[in-house]
Amino acid sequence: MAVSTDDIKQLRQKTGAGIMDCKEALVEAGEDFEQAVAILRKKGIQVAAQREMKAAAEGVVQAYVHAGEKIGVLVEVNCETDFVARTDDFRGFAKNVAMQIAAMQPRWVAPDDVPEEALARERKILTEQAEAEGKPDHIVEQIVEGRLGKFYAQNCLLHQPYIRDDSMTIEDLLNDLLAKTGEKIIIRRFVRYQVGEGLD
């Protein structure tokens, strides 16, 4: 199948993947653009799985101060090599993540980071809500699990819709970078400050 140069270029601009990877993804997807994007993201996830045991000890601490100097963020993003840490793609990703944190106020990086007591409290609230709505007992747990997904999307950075493109999550953005660099990349931790927060 002949894939147009324009399609390859467009896919490369959207995902940052290499030319051959974009071409192969388009061929595999039968020139379906969205399917090709999904294939490249899946490749990023596979790269991450293969490199799970590698140490990600390089990286950057990215600072971001929002307009008006009322909100500030520090985020640590790690990778395997200093070479990748110095690339524009990696630094751009770290900056976008810092901006995301400033705008969307996540509390944790991933669902696994949510403290057990916070999760238990949320489950209790959601269970009581479902029961108050008169939902049958046998589907209450199912409803609670579904609504926990929304809780994670609001509070966990990796599950949040990306502020610059809400068709993807921060995890999707991370997987795109994994596919491009071929390295293990981790958003390790962050802190967000807002003037006056916690004073009441």
Domain ranges, ordered by start, for the chain: 5-50, 58-110+156-194, 115-154
Q: Give the pLDDT of residue 53.
A: 56
Q: Give the pLDDT of residue 107.
A: 95
CATH class label, 115-154: mainly alpha
Average pLDDT over residues 25-34: 84
Q: Determine the Cα–Cα distance for residues 80 and 33; give it in Å rounded to an integer.
A: 31
Place of tokens 């609001």: 154
- Taking only the tens place, the pLDDT of each residue in 136-152 is 877 888 888 888 889 99
pTM above 0.85, yes or no: no
What CATH architecture applies to the domain 5-50? Answer: Orthogonal Bundle (1.10)
Enter the CATH code of domain 58-110+156-194: 3.30.479.20
The letter for the amino acid at 200 is D
Neighbouring-strand partners of residue 65: 72
Alpha carbon 144 to chain centroid, angstroms? 23
Q: Give the pLDDT of residue 18.
A: 67
